[in-house]
Amino acid sequence: MRRATQRALRRSAAVIATGLAGAALLWPAAAAADDLHYADFRFGQRALGMGGAVIGFVAEPVAGYYNPGGLAFLGRTTFSGSVSYFGTDRRTVKRGGYFEGLDAVVGRQDSESSGLLTLPSSSALMKSLAGGRHVIGFSTYLVSDTRERFADRIDRDDQALGFDLDRAVDDRTTFMGPSYGVRLGEALGLGLSVFYARRQARSTSILAARFDTDDDRAFDGLWQFTESFNATDGMLLARIGAMWRPDPAWSLGLTVTTPAVWLHGEGTYSIRVIDTAPELFDEGDGPGLYEERYADEARSGYPLHVGLGAAWIGEDLTVALSGDLYLPVAYNRLGADAAEGETVDAVNRVERELTVNGALGVEYRITEAFPLRAGVFTNHSTVPGYTASDRARLPDVDLYGASLSIGYVSGGDAINLGGEVQLGRGTATRTFEETEVLDRAQLRVMIFLSGAVAFAKSTAGKVIREVMDEPGQP
């Protein structure tokens, strides 16, 4: 893969030298959420409102994800999920659209990507057996979803040369699988979830140079370089959990996730160069098209993970704290041969460092039926700190978030409305003849409506009827 890219670039190196005086020109390396962070989304009533601080305090169907030991305390058959979940994800690379060597820059110097998030993030069906002592079920979780596109147009003031740059990424990972929980006595619950993790990713980076070949101030020559990566792969991992309630006021949780076992994967990497005016650079072989494609096994990785949680449960107030530790892991996204070197923009060798995340959440019952929840959490980058290198590197952005929600609970039915914000700053790199470090910022704003999907409409109707029946209402 490295050799193919080098051959294509050597053939058109004169284009880059003429346009940018040897400066670095490509965007920060193509990124995917699955390779950058572990805590992009939260699932379930309490976790959404409390910032995910539920490892030690979760007795709802999504316990299969956070701590399967909590399933033992469900006490009833329940189906829950997200009714709707949407928001925006804005990413900014400072001076990402600015390149030395051009006499003038048209438009902004910062590169920006803004995407709309509209997705169902989770669903879980758990069935209670043997009087609630045993619970079995099945669930799905969209654990990461990245859709970003950076696009910039750069023109020299004499209109003799112009550049178009476009990079798009679409990457999502879904966990799905069965769960089982059992209660041993009244205070201890144990559980196990087995997840099949499916990842689908594609990215495309395009650099196009437009030329005025006859001095008529009109672009009639084109050189275009396109780099594409597509991959689908699957892994298997298991999550073991325990929840202990030594007394009614305290709850403790522990969960351990095994490293993922690769099951299957296939992917392709390709480059394409179009050159309609080679005479400008003494290429001598006429207008042409150059293409090369590489196909191999595609892989992703998930490390050994340990989570701890604790909660203090008062009459009206609950306070919960959770922490997650992820050990380092490394893998090649596309085959062993590709590890010889990196591509121009797509990163093949992924290295994820030791990562620690934490969350603090509170729940206050305004009344028995209306819980108010709030939380703060971290979503730290898994990318190792920057070291000087001539290869592409993933962006390194630590995210910090807060959430707030209001719920309505009636028996086993519930709906929950709230929002979440994540923001952070970090670095990205772009590499051609040398590596340049750039500032990168990210802002995610999300609104969610979640609950027991089968009962959401009837529950909402019940709220309306109760309000309408109050004295003084028309």
What is the pLDDT at residue 346? 65
Q: Are 449 and 466 within 8 A, CB to CB?
A: no
pLDDT in tens, 260-278: 999 999 999 998 888 776 5
DSSP for 147-193, written as a single string:
EEEEEEEEE-TTSSEEEEEEEEEEEEEEEEEEEEEEEETTTEEEEEE
Q: Are 85 and 48 within 8 A, CB to CB?
A: no
Q: Which two tokens stand for residue 35?
A: 């390779």
What is the pLDDT at residue 328? 96
Q: What angle, rounded to 10 degrees, do the helices at 13-20 and 2-11 form?
A: 60
Cα–Cα dist 247/435, whole Å = 57
What is the pLDDT at residue 440? 85
Cα–Cα dist 155/105, whole Å = 6
Query: Within its chain, how far is the Cα of 344 from the centroid?
Result: 22
Q: Are 199 and 171 within 8 A, CB to CB?
A: yes
Backbone φ/ψ region at 131: left (φ over 0), alpha (ψ -120 to 50), beta: left
What SS3 state is found at 249? Answer: coil
Residue 289 CB neighbours (<10 A) = 10
Q: Are 291 and 272 within 8 A, CB to CB?
A: yes
Q: Which two tokens stand for residue 58?
A: 């979760």
Give the phi and the psi of residue 357 in degrees, each rounded to 5: -125, 155
In sequence order, which residues have a C-beta less than 8 Å from that of residue 177 and are 6 or more positions away? 138, 139, 193, 194, 195, 196
Cα–Cα dist 471/474, whole Å = 9
What is the pLDDT at residue 279? 55
Range list of β-strands (E), 60-110: 78-93
- Angle at CA 436, nearest 5°, toward 434 and 438? 165
What is the pLDDT at residue 385? 78
Domains recognised in the chain with CATH numbers: 2-468 (2.40.160.60)
What is the pLDDT at residue 27? 40
Least Cα distance to 128 among 174, 81, 61, 177 occurs for: 61
Report the run of H or E that residue 274 belongs to, with start and end: strand 261-275
Cα–Cα dist 287/285, whole Å = 7
**With 0-12 CB in 10 A as exposed, 13-18 as middle and 19+ as buried, what is 127?**
middle
CA atoms within 13 A on the CB side of 15: 26
Q: Which two tokens stand for residue 283?
A: 């290429």
Tracing tokens 């309505």 back to the chain, one arrives at 408
The two most distant CA atoms of the chain are separated, in Å, by 89
What SS3 state is found at 47? Answer: helix
**252-286 burial: b if 16+ Cβ within 10 Å, else e:** bbbbebeebebeebebebbbbbbbbbbeebebeee
Per-residue pLDDT of the chain (474 residues; tens, 9 = 90+): 444 444 444 444 444 444 433 333 344 444 444 678 999 989 888 899 999 999 998 778 899 999 999 999 887 777 777 655 666 777 776 655 544 444 344 444 666 766 666 555 788 888 888 888 899 999 999 998 888 887 777 765 555 667 777 888 889 999 999 999 999 988 999 999 999 999 999 988 888 877 765 555 555 667 788 889 999 999 999 999 999 999 999 999 999 999 999 999 999 999 888 877 655 544 445 557 778 888 999 999 999 999 999 999 999 999 999 999 999 999 998 876 544 444 445 678 889 999 999 999 999 999 999 999 999 999 999 998 776 665 667 888 999 999 999 999 887 678 889 999 999 998 877 665 566 777 888 898 888 887 754 333 444 344 434 434 444 333
Distance (Å) of CA 336 to CA 29, 271, 331:
20, 19, 9
Backbone φ/ψ region at 287: left (φ over 0), alpha (ψ -120 to 50), beta: beta
What is the pLDDT at residue 147? 81
